[in-house]
Structures are given as structure tokens and as C-alpha cells.
Amino acid sequence: MRNRKSLTRRQFLHQASLAGATGIALSQAIGAAPSPIENSTRRAPCEACILLWLGGGVAHTDTWDPKHLGDPAQRIAGSAYPSIDTAVPGVRVSTHLKKVARRLDELTILRTVYHNVIDEHAAAVNFLYTGRPTSGTIVYPSIGSVISHQRGAAAEGVPAYVLAGYPTVSRGPGFLGSEHRFLYITDTRRGPAGLSLPAGVSPARQTRRRELQRLVTEAALTQYPEKDDPIQGYGRVIDASHDLAAGKFRQAFDLDEESASLRRTYGSEFGQRCLLARRLVERGVRFVEVLHNLNFSNGTGWDTHNDGQLNQHLLIKDLDDAMAALIDDLKAKHLLDKTLIVVASEFGRPITFDSGGGRGHQASTFSVVLAGGGLRHRGALGDTDEAAKKPLSHPVSIPDLHATIHHALGIDPQTVLYAGDRPVPITDGGKPARSLFG
């Protein structure tokens, strides 16, 4: 990746027109007012981010933005559960978020996040991760890869970006290259499988393999000198993986080092992944994503069409246990102000019920939650109409969301990256939420 300290006049005009045009187009597409979210004041950046990804589309009226009570069985529109008071006067959440409700002064629910991709999960997921619609000419990096590129790991001997769950291209580095790809795990008890030697491969054999890899790299550079960046980048990734395998990083995955009582507090497998996330940021990992999409107890996960609605409360309670434990644990370790927690999914759900008693898709407004990170939390930011379908105040575009996360981590949202010679601003004209920064 090239580092550019200055721009030509043509590059500057290109960036300005790109950012302005895309921001206006998105607001017009959904009929929302231009976002009042503006550049915020300076503050000490936090050091890490933990993304809790609730894949499938969380029904915000059943969780973070409750409205009048409905009835799924009778197809009466409304929230499926009663709401309760929280630690922030005037802000209510679902009754199944009792633990988080008591800690809401450590959170801000962004209730008016929006985009215009509603009918296809993969496209919406890509939009949330990259901050841009899918392009036919460029593969944009995920927010985790951008943070890896801009800030790197916070300590020696650890990766910058770890994914606890299944990998997808939307979570990848795009044009930033393989050095900013995630290290992923699917089993918290074993850690990353790629850091262990396969059965039958001795250390001596592994040494021979590394020497062969070095020779292949040298030959490739000789034959394809114009491919220097990707070839060298791949070699650096291989070297880094060997360093991780030989170092102390793998100890982070030994959750048995934690007390039994703490592990019980975190709860399910998802909770154990959240505990692992704390252990990873404690050791210097900059960005950790934890997926809540394995072994769903309600049969469908957060994609609550039809019968998925029946046991949705089990998922919400699982989230409540794990999130409350993570907040308390980070706070006890004096890491909460240094760690931004983001709870997100690709879109929300309408307040109405479908013919099967579940809910469809809705992207015109939904909720994303921020916690910790040294932000000036306020319980909730933004108001929606009675159907939780339209933002009434403080609309937050996906670029605005990305800009807020970047700013919290000390990354200038106006920074320009380069896909080859093509300038690509880190955010698509996004502006951080001024009111969240002191």
C-alpha cells in the first residue's frame, strides 16, 4: 500500500465530488433529512474495538427501540415484549435486556441508523462492513481491516484483527492486501487451527517447508516483478503466522485460566467468545469480531421470519448475559474506556408481523449500540416514529457510523487510502457523532 502525504489538485477534486455526491444520494434514496452528525472535538482515542455481530437482522422494536405492545400470534403490530426502565431516565429497552438495562449509562443506542439495502442479506452485510455498496470495479476493505491498516496491533506478537466465527469476503481486507486480513477461529477451546502443526509434520519438516516457500517467493518475484506488493505481502503474512504460533499469543485461548464463576457469568458459547475477546484486547489485538450465529436455540437466529419469532427471546437473553458480563469485566480490568464495543446487524425488522408470525426486513431505520470507548454516553441517540420505521431526529448513515467508530479509535475519517492509483476515502463522506465525544 502506498503512503501519500499530499494530493494533486485533480485527486482532491475527485475526493470532494465523490464524498459529496454519495452522501447526498443516500439521504435522498431513503427520504431522510441530511445528517446533523458533524465533526467532533478532539479526545484521547480508545485502543481497541470489539464488534458483536448479530447476523440476520435484529428486530429493533423487540430489543433496543421498543414501541407499543403487539401480539405475534394475533398478527397485531407492535413490540413482541413489554419494555422496562433503564439506568438512563426516559430510555426503555426490551424486558429481556434486564442486565444491560441496568448498565445503560455505559451505552448509547443509535436508534436511527439507516441504509437502502433491504432484500438481500449479503449485500446489506457488505454495506455494514465496508461502508459502501458493492462495486464491480473495486473490493473495499472491511472496517476491521481498515483499523488494522491504520493502527496495527497494540502489542508485539499478536495480530491486529481476530474473527471469532466463520470468515466471509465482506470481512476481508479488499484492496488493502492480505497483511490486514483477519485471523479466525471457530472453536474457542482450540484457538486458531492454522497456528498448530498438522499431525505428522515435525518441526524439522516445517523448517524445510519454510525454506521451500522462500525459494518459491524469490522465483515469483523474479518472474513477476510487477506483482512485488502482493507477493511480498503474502510472505509477510506467512512469517507473521509462524511468529504467532511460536509466541505467547495462543495462551489467550486458554479460557480455563479464568475463574469458573466468571465463565458462568458470561454464559453460553457466545458468552465464552466475548470472554475471549476481552482476553485478546487485553493482549493487544486491535479489532475483535464475535459472531452470534452458531447453534441458534430458536432455529433461525436473528433472521426471525415465521417461527423464528417464537423463541427470539432466548437469543436476546443470551446477548443480555454476555454483553453485561463483557462490560463489567472490561470495567474491572480498567479497559472499558479503552475499548469500544459495537453491537450491530445488517438491518432491522418492521413492527408488523408476516403471515407466519415473524417479521420481514427493514433498513429505513434500525439500531446499533455503542458501549465503552471513553464516549460520552447518553443511553440513546435519535428518535424514531411510532412504527420505528422513520428517523425523526439524528439520522445516522452507515458512513456516519464508520466515521464515529474510526474517530473513537483515533483514525481521521477523512484519511484517503489508495486502491492502486485510485483514491478511496476511508468513509464515504461520513461524519462522527459530535455529541458522543467530550
Q: What mean pLDDT is predicted for residues 330-337?
A: 98
Beta strands in 308-415 (DSSP E): 339-344, 366-372, 379-381, 383-384, 391-393, 396-397
pLDDT at 28: 35
> Chain-wide mean pLDDT for the chain?
86
Q: Where are the alpha helices (DSSP H) in 190-268?
A: 203-223, 228-246, 260-266
pLDDT class for 161, splitting at 50, 70, 90?
very high
Q: What mean pLDDT is predicted for residues 352-378?
A: 96
Residues linked to residue 393 through DSSP beta bridges, in sequence order = 383
pLDDT class for 47, splitting at 50, 70, 90?
very high
Q: Which domains does the chain have, with CATH numbers?
A: 9-193+250-436 (3.40.720.10), 197-247 (no CATH)
Query: What global pTM score does this model have?
Result: 0.83
Query: pLDDT tens-digit profile of 56-107?
Result: 999 999 999 999 999 999 999 999 999 999 999 999 999 999 999 999 999 9
Ramachandran region, residue 31 (left: φ > 0; alpha: ψ -120 to 50; beta: rest): left
Percent of the chain topping pLDDT 90: 67
Percent of the chain topping pLDDT 70: 79
pLDDT at 39: 46
Query: pLDDT tens-digit profile of 307-317?
Result: 889 999 999 99
Q: What mean pLDDT is predicted for residues 141-154?
A: 98
Query: pLDDT tens-digit profile of 181-218?
Result: 999 988 777 666 555 556 666 767 766 776 787 778 77
**Residue whose C-alpha is closest to residue 356's, from 147, 11, 75:** 75
Between 246 and 49, the more confident residue is 49
Query: pLDDT tens-digit profile of 119-147?
Result: 889 999 999 999 998 888 899 999 999 99
Question: Which residue type does 155 have?
Answer: A
pLDDT at 70: 97
| pLDDT score of 1 more than 50 | no
pLDDT at 64: 98
- Name the helix (H) or strand (E) containing 333: none
Q: CB pairs under 8 A, 24+ apart, for 209-212? A: 210/238, 210/242
pLDDT class for 266, splitting at 50, 70, 90?
very high
Query: pLDDT tens-digit profile of 166-177?
Result: 889 999 999 999
Query: pLDDT tens-digit profile of 407-432?
Result: 999 999 999 999 999 999 999 999 99
Query: pLDDT tens-digit profile of 278-309?
Result: 999 999 999 999 999 655 666 688 999 888 89
